[in-house]
Structure 1
Amino acid sequence: MAARKIVVLGTGGTIAGRAASAADNVGYQAAQLGVAELLQGVTGLAGLQVEAEQVAQVDSKDMDFAIWAALAQHCAHWLAQEEVAGVVVTHGTDTMEETAFFLQSVLAPAKPVVLTGAMRPATSALADGPQNLADALAVAAAPGAQGVSVVFAGAVHGAHDVAKLHNYRLDAFGSGDAGPLAYIEEGRLRQLRAWPAGTPQRGVANLRPPADWPRVEIVMNHAGATGAMVRALVADGARGLVVAGTGNGTLHHALEQALLEAQQAGVAVRRTTRCAQGQVIATANDRLPAVEVSAVKARIGLILALMH
């Protein structure tokens, strides 16, 4: 049987980071090693034909629209090749959930696109990147796998639900109430839920040049919230606003009034919750539309909606 071809796209991140000491897991510089170098430390590649391509080299806190657009285009190109079984993307953890949600939104691929990274740099004495990358390759090569997922610390999380929940632990990602899609155990996949599916919201071909993407900002409800930030963002040209409300998307009356004024003026407003788990349950009295994803993902969805 012919080897299954997996394409690994590098974008930088901690998995490609270097520190001066093997004992230093926090004082490193991200995005120093190329993706081909990362693959040299990975075992379990037997039976796979792996091709590597560097799309970007960035600390993911600095991820931007231009890289997202390029990454989506590269993914679409490789997924269209009949011999390619799946794509793996090495990525920094800080914005991994956003990139995963973006790619699922524009690609909704029938083949797997698997994001992975590391919490410790490549120079760490106990680096977690090689195992995460090996697990991601296993998922990308798994028969029947599809959609965009994040593989981390032996778990597979769907793009819709995944979130970074811890700033330091190796198992930094979770899927909230939904739970993971699967686990990888000694290179074998134990599936728990169905793979992400659906049709692309917009498609790669319909993405505007990144400089033309509509500006959407995030605000948060909190004790003593006012409408000052909302009015400033509207005056500064924001076309959309996502508000992370307290509890079930509740809002301080002053903040809500400013958001209602913005909505009346033609600014698109979406409401979600700042809670780490759960989603806003809409009621008949809602004056601001609620969404079921986190604020950062709601922002991506609104950007794509306003783009067209």
Structure 2
Amino acid sequence: MLNRFGWKNGLAALLLSALSSVALAQAAKPHVVVLATGGTIAGAGASAANSATYSAAKVPVDKLLAGLPELGQVARVSGEQVFQIASESFTNEHLLTLARRVSALSKQADVNGIVITHGTDTLEETAYFLNLVVRTTKPIVVVGSMRPGTALSADGALNLYDAVSVAASQDAAGKGVLVTLNDEIQSGRDVSKTVNIKTEAFKSQWGPLGMVVEGRNYWFRAPVKRHTSASEFNIDEIQSLPAVDIVYGYGNMNTTGIDAYGKAGVKALIHAGTGNGSVAAQAVPALRALRANGVQVIRGARVPDGFVLRNAEQPDDQYDWVVAHDLRPQKARILAMVALTKPQDAKSLQRIFWEY
């Protein structure tokens, strides 16, 4: 018997059953939300030969996802355009807006993981901020690319595929905010951009947490510092971020920057010192004066690896200063801002730098 479409009932039933099975299979896949903020991964160059010269933040998230149909094999993916900017223009307000959206999504029962596409210049800062303030065990993955999608050997598509794959994986839960580039799974706390024109630009002195290859995760270590669900900080309770800035140490250093930041009313100043966070003799009085006026002084280091030892190079206990431990100055700034959303003396702030 033919139905009103002219099909035999049996054939129609078979087709409807197949369509239903496909729908059920897709619904059973993890739901990953991609929050797009711009950056090189959404960039475009004038020609395929332009891998380092291009305009960032041009491709909207819907086109970014539509250009990678393979994502549907690992997850049910939806996208939101949060910002469309180059990441060097990220402000504290951008951080707060993004973190609030990530936090809200993490509370939704129908969301299994979250991916943030981001420019690489400040990707590490955003990843660490989210690591500190979003209270969830669900996978959060920040991803970028070193080449625009229009370039020969563009890396963004695979990086994004890896990010969605990791965010959809149950074994990525509870490991804090992650960063995926160049097949590596990095801790958002530890990783930094170390070079500006290579696809293997992001490294951690402690090594990656694992690798992701063809959609499968291989884990080799786990983060031990406090993060996400174990953090004492919560984006839902943070209305604004205090002023924290960085001053750079160098030969023949003067105190102009230190004095200017003090007059500007910073709540903390990161001193990016040479070597083991060394401070030039002529800068010590200015930093001590800041501390006497209630500004937290945090001794970091401009060197890419290692960590700052307390009471080495400078008598931190005597001066009531804090050391940044192994955090690079830009990340020390992020932690100091978050920590100082609550009242902290130097001792409690130092405890936070040890633990996070």
Q: TM-score under structure 2 normalisation?
A: 0.82
**Offset, 1:256:** 2.0
**Offset, 1:35:** 1.3
Instruction: Give the count of matched residue pairs.
Output: 304
**Offset, 1:194:** 1.5
**Of 63, 73, 80, which aligns to 1:53?**
80
Q: Distance in 2 between matches of 1:154 and 1:138?
A: 11
1:117-176: CA deviation from partner (whole Å, max 9, x where unpaired): 111112112211000000001110111313201100000110111100001000100011
State the AA in 2 paired with 1:127: A
**Offset, 1:44:** 4.5
State whether structure 2 residue 295 is matched by structure 1 residue 267.
yes
Whether contact under 8 Å (1:108, 1:148) holds in the other structure is no
Percent pairwise identity:
38
Q: Which has the larger radius of gyration?
A: 2
Aligned to 1:97: 124
Q: Distance in 2 between matches of 1:297 and 1:201?
A: 18
Aligned to 1:19: 45
Aligned to 1:206: 237
State the AA in 1 paired with 2:41: I
Whether contact under 8 Å (1:114, 1:149) holds in the other structure is yes
State whether structure 2 residue 265 is matched by structure 1 residue 232.
no
Name the Cα RMSD after superposition.
Answer: 1.5
**Of 53, 74, 85, which aligns to 2:112?**
85
State whether structure 2 residue 218 is matched by structure 1 residue 184.
no
1:18-167 aligned at under 5 Å gives the runs 18-42=44-68, 43-146=70-173, 147-167=176-196
State the AA in 2 paired with 1:105: L
More deviation, 110-119/144-153: 144-153
Instruction: Please state which structure has a larger fraction of its residues in helix.
Output: 2
Q: Distance in 2 between matches of 1:251 and 1:97?
A: 26
Instruction: Please state which structure has a larger fraction of its residues in strand.
Output: 1
Aligned to 1:3: 29
Q: 1:16 to 1:231 in 2, by over 3 A?
A: same
Whether contact under 8 Å (1:109, 1:148) holds in the other structure is no
Q: Distance in 1 between matches of 2:112 and 2:84?
A: 24
State whether structure 2 residue 341 is matched by structure 1 residue 307.
yes
Q: Distance in 1 between matches of 2:71 and 2:61?
A: 17
Whether contact under 8 Å (1:21, 1:123) holds in the other structure is yes
1:52-78: CA deviation from partner (whole Å, max 9, x where unpaired): 111111000101112111111111111
1:279-294 aligned at under 5 Å gives the runs 279-283=307-311, 285-286=315-316, 287=319, 288-292=321-325, 293-294=327-328
**Offset, 1:189:** 0.5
Q: Distance in 2 between matches of 1:283 and 1:268?
A: 16
Q: TM-score under structure 1 normalisation?
A: 0.95
State the AA in 1 paired with 2:125: E
Q: Distance in 2 between matches of 1:125 and 1:249?
A: 41
**Of 266, 269, 280, which aligns to 1:241?**
269
Whether contact under 8 Å (1:227, 1:256) holds in the other structure is no
